[in-house]
Amino acid sequence: MLKGGYMGKILRVNLTEQTYKEEETAVELAKQYIGGAGFGVKYLFDEVPADTDPLGPANKLIFAPGPFSGTAVPCASRIAAVAKSPLTGAVGMALSGGHFPVELKFAGYDALIIEGKAEKPTYVSIKDGKVSFRSAEHLWGTRTSDCQQLIKDQLRDQNTRIVCIGPAGERLVKVACIINERRALGRKGLGAVMGSKNLKAVAVRGSQEVPVYDKEAFKKARSVMTGAMKESHALYPMFSHIGTPAVLDLTCEMGIFSTKNWAGTGQWAPVDKLGVEANNSRKIGREHCYNCPVGCSQIKLAREGSYAGILTEGPEFESIYSLGGTTGIDNLDAVIAADRLCDELGMDTMSAGVAIGFAMELYEKGILTKSDTGGLELHFGNDKAMQELLLDMAYRRGLGDILADGVKLAAEKIGKGSEKYAMHIKGLELPAYDIRGAKAHGLNYATSYTGADHNRGYAFQEIFGIPVPEAVDRFAYAGKGKLTKWNQDVRCVTCDCATMCAFILDMALPGIATQNTADLMQALTGLPFTPEEVQAVGERVNNLARVFNKLAGFSRADDTFPERIMTEPLKEGNSKGQLISKEDLNTMLDEYYAARGWTTEGVPTPEKLRSLGLEDALKKLEP
Amino acid sequence: MLKGGYMGKILRVNLTEQTYKEEETAVELAKQYIGGAGFGVKYLFDEVPADTDPLGPANKLIFAPGPFSGTAVPCASRIAAVAKSPLTGAVGMALSGGHFPVELKFAGYDALIIEGKAEKPTYVSIKDGKVSFRSAEHLWGTRTSDCQQLIKDQLRDQNTRIVCIGPAGERLVKVACIINERRALGRKGLGAVMGSKNLKAVAVRGSQEVPVYDKEAFKKARSVMTGAMKESHALYPMFSHIGTPAVLDLTCEMGIFSTKNWAGTGQWAPVDKLGVEANNSRKIGREHCYNCPVGCSQIKLAREGSYAGILTEGPEFESIYSLGGTTGIDNLDAVIAADRLCDELGMDTMSAGVAIGFAMELYEKGILTKSDTGGLELHFGNDKAMQELLLDMAYRRGLGDILADGVKLAAEKIGKGSEKYAMHIKGLELPAYDIRGAKAHGLNYATSYTGADHNRGYAFQEIFGIPVPEAVDRFAYAGKGKLTKWNQDVRCVTCDCATMCAFILDMALPGIATQNTADLMQALTGLPFTPEEVQAVGERVNNLARVFNKLAGFSRADDTFPERIMTEPLKEGNSKGQLISKEDLNTMLDEYYAARGWTTEGVPTPEKLRSLGLEDALKKLEP
């Protein structure tokens, strides 16, 4: 019986049968996986065979907030969504903040497992333990902001919190996302999983409290955290005021802001037009997740020309990269408009932008011509063409239909040597940081269980120069295997499982994260936790996901980079001349696998799995 | 002391001083003007000199719901907004349903008078008698749906009801409207009045009840009304299911649906593409005003091409006419998208659409060329050009800047004989009904105090064939003067002052409206009312507004039609050959003035004014 932090129940909804049931949240699950992505990966592993069609009814979609969500712990109102990814075929996991995560707890649940496929478009309404299945036939085709408003009106409750998909998810666009207010569970195509289940939305409202086991100890552990936050000048006032666009200025200075489909770094420096100052000139407000004092999310309003008056929450740094940098578009208003359009269509800004940058390079190289683009002049920098193409992707029209499946599949369809311009790892489009100038960041992209994912093991040591656990040289290779394991495990448990905001981890807690998480968990839940046990949760999830991916067909050969990273050195700026050769990658991989206790082929060993209590995984791996 | 129906207080807000005060709602005001437009016109007349600059700080903007708003009387949650119109220079009055009207009552007020001009963009928040002035600098430039959401978030109250303006009102676009949720206080440029006052929005929340004086009598009178509604097959199930687009099918059949800037009636019959069936194919839901069992408002979703996924509440019949019929655009999805765009920009669909149809005819006639249109090919039917031009109007760019002031001023600026194609009366663009085939409807357009306004004295006898007060021939002239007076007075008191929905009046109550309104008023308020007194309220308001307009410079010469109506007979269909010659107009005007007790110049006589208790007006008229 769980005593605090958890609501004690997991809700299982079956769309095929239109039934639901509540299951107890097991103490062992809480202890071994904490919550969030931990719960999600565990349920996925146990219940979805690795060879499952991601867009078939046998795939499951698990939403799980963390134990801190809805408590007095700040910056922890986050939720993980997990399914087998239709974009990568690997474990798909995405996180979002906002208010939906705590609302699910307040409604009584530690996780929501969605199974099967509804016969017709449906949405699910959850209200304090009452679940209803409602027709979404009228909502099918709506954009995400309208959809949410229509549901609130229909439920006669303007305070309902909703996750939903847009036209992209309905059409099984593989870069479709799930939208929560104006935020996204963005990557790995989880919107298409909802679409494949005919699930337009989940609406949640609750009024319960999250129990706290030891209030005094909890308050004390929390004050250690908030004290560290207050001392972080990076958080206050800086990050509160400039948000993630700050990273654009920083990475431009470092020469690792990727532009023009990764061909242009250093040659086209957009910091003046897309950086902090430009973003602040468009900023009209901030948005806070539940119980977050930072409020880094910026609301911006486009000001000029045909984009004037278009508002978005964002664009965050990564969206500025994907819709601006990699497309060579330095019109911030166009990026703002594209960001809003992606949110409305329910499409991942990152993968969508990279796909357009990819198409632009193909067009410039003559691999795509006007007859392929439906007349669009797809030069880098053509913002109007981007708007058109985003719509075409969401509605699967013409070239957009091809790009809708991500650059890996698009390159396979287009052929003609286009593969070498497809910037992805394991099918997931690359984030902003040009890893040629940040080697641990690169190794993390190569080895993350979700594909090229900066968030699974963000090398803040290289980007922000934070010397935890030790100072590193971002151009060096030695030690990056060990560092990447540390980054991935710590980040996994604190941000993905305990669902604390990554910005807090990087800027306030890097040195105390596992200790503080252990103290908070122990006080909140009454379960014993040491820092080592906490870190082991991260390692456990990473290993379990690795086994799932191995069973799904992934191998060492997939822990790699697009050719350009390994053969084209950066041309200018403060990372000039850098690349990561195949040999250097292999050296890093060998060190990483060794640090992980995996075979040289990157497979978790029986010893490692047993030490993490993953005997079930071992059985599946060696039946 | 008022006993029921009224909250007893009027809120006066001064934006220049950032102050507010409450005044008692006078019994005499209630008895003589009932509420809604009655209150608005009365305050305007008393407090705003007729020569006031409509966009100067001396103009006032009065919002007033009716005594039935917020009570058990169905279909009466409506509000009037009144100011001197920047579009016409006459009394400007517009009505909207929804939820804002009752919220203002629940907050404690029978009217809200807005005076002066804020130094900087401001919004006003009203909560149960508490008023606060808040900066709207961050909201300036936002579209109306985003603006409302941002205010709800800032006030931490998702149930706040809001009226606001969009970019058009901010730029003093003379066809700008005020938006309330997804509805509009649409006509006469009242959005520009808000913009001129630097007033972005008014947010209201209340928790009070509207008092009822004699509950038993009220229940009885109400049951007469609901009984009549239930017996009306036009209302149920028909109107509930097909809404105002039904009128398109009807008027097309009658040959009075105006198309292509009133040059095309009968030559281009859009009923298949813009009528009931087409609209129902796009319908995904209905919207109800507060306490309305009908729910005629349709939510529609565009389905095809670049408009796919765009949702709007509407377009209502008049918007289909203006954005479709008069522009020659028979792509309903384009009309849906334009309707939404107008709502977001805060621009009257009717005047905006007519302005575009006007520009299209000028382009086709060679009066405007590509160099005037910024390259747009402004042929009738060019839906993409319409979208561009709507944005250009709201942002006052190029030709859009000229059209933004309505067709009357635009024609003056453009010259070259364009005046004959400017379809307006007193500066207000013409509604859908081609009055050449409905003479009383035409006379109402010519004489309404707000300009060409179908709602001020809708001739349902001609359009729906309802024989109340008697059957009429829509092509005949005789008797139309007297009929128009009756229509204007009855409609004014029931719909504009008592703020009952016009559709209920036309379809359920035409024969019992004044009796039922008197019974309801007497029971609700405890004030004595006879049907004659009720009708006299309508007459009083029409006379008071007429005097205001006279003082503002209007005369018999302004009670006229665009040249086309008087010289170009309808070419085809069931009104073929019809026009209204100057002579026939004059005949009708003479009869109308006589019925009104006005001079042959259309000026209210001292006797008439005295008989209505309008001695103050007489004093201003003959100082």
Whether A361 shows a pLDDT value over 80: the answer reads yes
Contacts of A393 in chain B (CB under 8 A): none
Here the tokens at position B229 are 């509604």
CA nearest to A290, candidates A396, A221, A210: A210
Using the Cα atoms of residue A52, residue A55, residue A59 and residue A64 in order, give the sign of their dihedral.
positive
Q: Residue A511: pLDDT band by 50, 70, 90 thresholds?
A: confident
Over residues A175-179, the mean pLDDT reads 98
Q: Residue A598: pLDDT band by 50, 70, 90 thresholds?
A: very high
DSSP notation for B221-250: HHHHHHHHHHH-TIIIIIIHHH-TTHHHHH
pLDDT at A623: 87
CA nearest to B279, candidates B316, B308, B305: B316
DSSP notation for A225-244: HHHHHHH-TIIIIIIHHH-T
**Per DSSP, what are the bridge partners of residue B391?**
none
> What angle, rounded to 10 degrees, do the helices at B349-364 and B406-414 form?
30
Among B144, B311, B342, B345, pick the best mutation site for testing chain A contact (most A Cβ within 10 A): B311
Please give the Cα distance from B493 to B531 (Å, whole number).
Answer: 11
Q: Is the distance from CB of B92 to CB of B83 less than 8 angstroms?
A: yes
Whether A176 shows a pLDDT value over 90: the answer reads yes
pLDDT at A128: 96
Nearest CA in chain B to A305: B395
Within chain B, which residues score under 50 in pLDDT? none
Q: Is the distance from CB of A96 to CB of A183 less than 8 angstroms?
A: yes
CA nearest to A353, candidates A326, A378, A371: A326
Cβ neighbours of residue A350 closer than 8 Å, sequence gap 6 or more: A186, A187, A318, A319, A321, A322, A429, A431
pLDDT at B526: 96
B141 contacts A301? CB cut-off 8 A = yes
Domain boundaries, chain A: 9-205, 243-423, 435-561+581-621
The Cβ of residue A584 has, within 10 Å, a number of other Cβ atoms equal to 16
CA nearest to B282, candidates B306, B299, B305: B299
Polymer length of chain B: 623
Please give the Cα distance from B129 to B328 (Å, whole number).
Answer: 49
CB contacts < 8 A (A, B): 68
Among A134, A142, A145, A290, pick the best mutation site for testing chain B contact (most B Cβ within 10 A): A142
Ramachandran category for residue B5: left, alpha or beta (phi over 0 → left; psi -120 to 50 → alpha): left
Contacts of B301 in chain A (CB under 8 A): 141-142
Please give the Cα distance from B11 to B25 (Å, whole number).
Answer: 10
Architecture of domain B435-561+581-621: Orthogonal Bundle (1.10)
Architecture of domain A9-205: 4-Layer Sandwich (3.60)
pTM for this model (two decimals): 0.96
CA nearest to A320, candidates A376, A251, A410: A251
In this structure, the strands spanning A111-115 and A178-180 are unpaired
In this structure, the strands spanning B199-205 and B122-127 are parallel
pLDDT at A267: 61
Cβ neighbours of residue B623 closer than 8 Å, sequence gap 6 or more: none
User: How far is CA A27 from each of CA A1, A34, B34, rounded to the nearest angstrom?
Assistant: 6, 10, 67
Among the partner-chain residues A150, A299, A309, the one whose CB lies closest to the CB of B167 is: A309
Please give the Cα distance from B357 to B350 (Å, whole number).
Answer: 11
A309 contacts B141? CB cut-off 8 A = yes
A167 contacts B345? CB cut-off 8 A = no
- Which amino acid does the sequence have at B534? V
B309 contacts A166? CB cut-off 8 A = yes
Burial of A233 from C-beta contacts in 10 A (0-12 / 13-18 / 19+): exposed
The number of C-alpha atoms within 13 Å of B188 and in the hemisphere containing its C-beta is: 27
Among B182, B298, B306, pick the best mutation site for testing chain A contact (most A Cβ within 10 A): B306
Polymer length of chain A: 623
Q: Is the distance from CB of B358 to CB of B364 less than 8 angstroms?
A: no
Contacts of A395 in chain B (CB under 8 A): 308-309
Q: What are the two backbone dihedrals, phi and then psi, of residue A34, each rounded to the nearest 5 degrees?
A: 65, -55
Cβ neighbours of residue A443 closer than 8 Å, sequence gap 6 or more: A480, A481, A484, A585, A588, A589, A592
Nearest CA in chain A to B159: A158
Among the partner-chain residues A145, A159, A308, the one whose CB lies closest to the CB of B395 is: A308
pLDDT at A266: 58
**Euclidean distance between the first and final Cα of chain A, in Å?**
33
User: How far is CA A142 from each of CA A164, A346, B70, rounded to the nearest angstrom?
Assistant: 10, 10, 32
> Quick check: helix, strand or coil at residue B200?
strand
Q: Is the distance from CB of B176 to CB of B168 less than 8 angstroms?
A: yes
Measured torsion, CA atoms of residues A137, A143, A145, A149, in degrees rounded to the nearest 10: -20
Contacts of A166 in chain B (CB under 8 A): 309
Whether A234 shows a pLDDT value over 90: the answer reads no
Cβ neighbours of residue B458 closer than 8 Å, sequence gap 6 or more: B441, B444, B487, B491, B502, B506
Nearest CA in chain A to B344: A309
Please give the Cα distance from A55 to A193 (Å, whole number).
Answer: 6
B285 contacts A311? CB cut-off 8 A = no
Nearest CA in chain B to A139: B284
B166 contacts A309? CB cut-off 8 A = yes
Cβ neighbours of residue B269 closer than 8 Å, sequence gap 6 or more: B252, B573
Residues of B with CB under 8 A from a CB of A: 138-139, 141-143, 145-146, 150, 152-154, 158-159, 166-167, 284-285, 287, 299, 301, 303, 306, 308-311, 344-345, 388, 391, 394-395
The helix (H) or strand (E) run that includes residue A362 is: helix A349-364
A306 contacts B391? CB cut-off 8 A = yes
Ramachandran category for residue B168: left, alpha or beta (phi over 0 → left; psi -120 to 50 → alpha): alpha
Please give the Cα distance from B55 to B85 (Å, whole number).
Answer: 9
Contacts of A301 in chain B (CB under 8 A): 141-142
A391 contacts B306? CB cut-off 8 A = yes
The number of C-alpha atoms within 13 Å of B14 and in the hemisphere containing its C-beta is: 8
- Which amino acid does the sequence have at B137? E
- Quote the distance between the C-alpha of residue B91 and its chain's center: 12
Contacts of A139 in chain B (CB under 8 A): 284
CATH code of the domain made up of B243-423: 1.10.569.10
Contacts of B284 in chain A (CB under 8 A): 138-139, 141-142, 150
pLDDT at A236: 82
Whether A235 shows a pLDDT value over 90: the answer reads no
Here the tokens at position B113 are 């008078």
- Which amino acid does the sequence have at B557? A
What pLDDT digit, counting tens, does each position of B98-149 carry? 999 999 999 999 999 999 999 999 999 999 999 999 999 999 999 999 999 9
CA nearest to B597, candidates B606, B587, B588: B606
Among the partner-chain residues A145, A153, A309, the one whose CB lies closest to the CB of B142 is: A309
pLDDT at B42: 98
Whether A546 shows a pLDDT value over 90: the answer reads yes
B139 contacts A284? CB cut-off 8 A = yes
CA nearest to A541, candidates A485, A472, A599: A485
Please give the Cα distance from B321 to B464 (Å, whole number).
Answer: 18
In this structure, the strands spanning A9-14 and A111-115 are parallel
pLDDT at B504: 87
User: How far is CA B535 from each of CA A619, B458, B490, B527, B539, rounded to the nearest angstrom?
Assistant: 87, 16, 6, 15, 6
Whether A506 shows a pLDDT value over 90: the answer reads no
pLDDT at A265: 63
DSSP notation for A244-298: TTHHHHHHHHHT-B--GGGT-TTTS--HHHHSHHHHHHTEEEEE--TT-SS--EE
pLDDT at A508: 85
CA nearest to A440, candidates A417, A422, A423, A465: A465
b/e A205-224 (16+ beta carbons within 10 angstroms → b): bbeeebbbbbeebbeebbee
- DSSP state letter for B210: P
Arithmetic mean of pLDDT over chain A = 96
> Quick check: helix, strand or coil at residue A600?
coil
Please give the Cα distance from B239 to B503 (Å, whole number).
Answer: 9
- Which amino acid does the sequence have at A89? G
Q: Is the distance from CB of A178 to CB of A193 less than 8 angstroms?
A: no
Please give the Cα distance from B448 to B406 (Å, whole number).
Answer: 18
CA distance A138 to chain B (A): 5
Please give the Cα distance from A269 to A255 (Å, whole number).
Answer: 9
